[in-house]
Structure 1
Amino acid sequence: MTAPREPPGPAHAHPEDDAPVPCLASSPAPSWREQGIQMPMPALADEEGPRVDPGLPPVVDAHVHLFPDRVFEAVWRWFDRHGWPIRYKLHTPQVVSFLLSRGVERVVALHYAHKPGMARALNAYVAQVAKDEPRVIGLGTVYPGEPDAVAILEEAFALGLKGVKLHCHVQAFSPDAPQLHELYEACARAGKPLVMHSGREPSSPQYPVDPHQLCAAERVERVLKDHPSLKLCVPHLGADEFDAYARLLERYDTLWLDTTMAVGGYFPVPLPRKALEVRPGRILYGTDFPNLPYAWDRELRALAGLGLDEAALAGVLGGNTLSLYAEC
């Protein structure tokens, strides 16, 4: 069942975006909507651990968000209204300190520009954070289709940023849209991974477009075919098309998936075990911290309890992420 929309008025992606883009053809795959999963979702009052279990392999969080203060605060307001209550409203220095002090060894810092003209300032911000704290692996962003988009990425790489983050829902594009090709080519030329939220979920009816109209695993497969040297990571294990992304993982050596919000049981769907087990060397542990409605280590504990063999667990919790970014 589709979540009800608010009364007529402009739709806004977080933090604010009033330039909707026409929707494209949707995928026929079964959806969370048909299962009645709706936004906003509730917070959980689950207990958090004091730090990473010392018996675990080294932990690297491949999906941490860092923004300037005002952007962070706008993101939190949007999530509180339209996504889920944010448990950890921490600004950038506190985010980094929180995770590192609890035994997370490194973090991959992601951000995204919700409108044209933001990316250069955001990239400079994250580049400085990564320069000040070497345990932060900073990624850049760009708004697809904005003027000088390729130059913005090249400048981000020159600042030392190790990849790119794009978000189909917030930035209102389909993975196979024409304006993306030059960005894919720029990433491939530079050997920089691209992290792209191209799965249909988690989604909200308050995005400027319907993610179910923009996003589908077959669209991502077109990208993988058209850009065979592009290193692509899809967050959330490709939610909600878990099986389709598991099949893509079997077929393509340039695809990775991260576990963000997909294994901790927050969403009432079965654990996507096939996506985790078909090729564990291509799975990255990620959280979405600090934008969480539950304990920071919920998914870490869930992954540790899945019974993965020692080598697979070491890869998922950190080794795979370090290998992906090692030569960037």
Structure 2
Amino acid sequence: MDHPDESPACLGPASGWLTSGSSPLPLPALNDEEGPRLPEGLPPVVDAHVHLFPDGVFEAIWRWFDRYGWPIRYKLHTPQVVSFLLSRGVHRVVALHYAHKPGMARFLNAYVAEVARAEPRVLGLATVMPGEEGAADILAEAFAAGLKGVKLHCHVQCFAPDAPALHEVYEACARAGRPLVMHAGREPASPQYKCDVHALCSAERVERVLKDHPGLQLCIPHLGADEFDAYERLLERHDNLWLDTTMAVAGYFPIPVPRRLLEARPERILYGTDFPNLPYAWDRELKQLLALKLGDEVEAGLLGQNALQLFEGC
């Protein structure tokens, strides 16, 4: 199968977290210390944002990151990703992937479904290319194969959250009671994407989705970066919205930790990392979250129970 395009047209915004002025530069690696495993005494930890791809797709993604994003510290293929996290004490892994063009989704979904069948601690999600022929059937097949939800990526797949092509996907998820994880925040944005993600993505567009599809369980990664205040308001107004922390709390990007957002509705926040596509230690996000001392009950939900309730209903 084809791999992601490693030289996409430069149509993105002139500034963003992955740029310096108007010129894209790979961000630096952090040679921070990593722990051998999770600290003792923690509640069950679920990493709700882990990427699993076939080998060739992973390798193409890493080449892109090396050129345009950041150096990948953990260039591990799927079996090693799963083993790495579970052997270090992670209780469950939510496996995400995405199709960058029509015709990929069935293959990718079958791949992740097989991984999840072999290792029940992996909660696999499906994907689809919005607007592709038979999108609802592709998702129905994936759900029948045991996949727990859907992952979409506005930046890679080049769509706005409120685009008409998405309605079929939203309805399929709501009908099946499966949550949707959708990278619909504006950052991390890169001019190497094939679309201007700041023009496509906004909290306002996401709110239209939440209003038009009240039966949809929608999770926005990266705490909705970079519109933290807007997503705090959305959390307060909408009971069908969740956020995950991925890379927004790790202290890697030039932003303050949005603590007020974390505390607005902590039962709607999931811990996630973006492993293995990280430029820093695998447990950096966790350490930063624990350092906030949000309280035992909040930590138990954020680190694992909220994700189990969303993806397993328990």
Normalised by the length of structure 2, the TM-score is 0.94
Deviation at 1:250, TM superposition (A): 0.8
Match of 1:309 in 2: 295
Equivalent position SS for 2:101? coil
Partner of 1:62: 48
What are the Cα deviations for residues 68-126 of structure 1, in whole angstroms up to 9, with x where unaligned?
Answer: 00000001001111111100000000000000000001100000001110000000000
Structure-2 separation of matches of 1:94 and 1:168: 28
The residue that corresponds to 1:145 in the other structure is: 131
Aligned-partner SS, 2:219:
strand
Equivalent residue, structure 1, for 2:74 = 88
Change (3 A) 1:327 1:57: closer
**Corresponding position: 1:259 with 2:241:** no
SS at match of 2:170: helix
Q: Helix, strand or coil: the match of 1:201?
A: coil
Structure 2 counterparts to residues 185-196 of structure 1, below 5 A: 185-196=171-182
Separation in structure 2 between the aligned mates of residue 120 and residue 312 of structure 1, nearest angstrom: 37
Are the counterparts in 2 of residues 195 and 235 from structure 1 also a CA contact under 8 Å? yes
Runs of 4+ in 1 over 2 A off after TM superposition: 17-20, 30-40
- Counterpart AA for 1:16: D
Distance in 1 between the 2:220 and 2:233 partners? 13
**Number of residue equivalences:** 309
- Report the alpha carbon displacement of residue 18 of structure 1 after superposing the two structures with TM: 8.6
- TM-score, reference length from structure 1: 0.90
Alignment of 1:141-180 (within 5 A): 141-180=127-166
Distance 1:104 1:176, change over 3 A: same
Q: Which residue of 2, 5, 15 maps to 1:16?
A: 5
How far is 1:17 from its partner? 7.8
Structure 2 residue runs of 5 or longer lacking an equivalent are none
Secondary structure of residue in 2 paired with 1:78: helix
Matches of 2:313 and 2:307 in 1, distance apart?
A: 11
Query: What CA distance in whole angstroms lies between the structure 2 residues aligned with 1:35 and 1:204?
Result: 10
How large is the Cα RMSD of the aligned pairs? Answer: 2.1
8 Å contact 2:180–2:219 — kept in the other structure?
Answer: yes
1:243 and 2:232 are equivalent in the alignment: no
Is residue 17–residue 114 contact of structure 1 (8 Å, CA) maintained in 2? no
Other-structure match for 1:327 = 313
Q: Specify every segment of 5 or more residues in structure 1 that has no aligned partner in the other structure, as ranges.
A: 1-13
1:222-301 to 2 correspondences below 5 Å = 222-301=208-287
Aligned to 1:104: 90
> Could you tell me whether the CA contact under 8 Å between 1:258 and 1:284 is conserved in 2?
yes
**Which residue is equivalent to 2:99?**
113
Identity %: 74
SS for the counterpart of 1:90 is coil
The residue identity in structure 1 corresponding to 2:4 is: P
Encode CA deviations 1:147-202: one digit per residue, 9 max, x unaligned. Answer: 11111011110110000000000000000000000110000000000000000001
State the SS of the aligned residue for 1:93: helix
1:203 deviates by 1.3
Taking a change above 3 Å as real, the CA distance of residues 282 and 305 of structure 1, as seen in their structure-2 partners, is: same
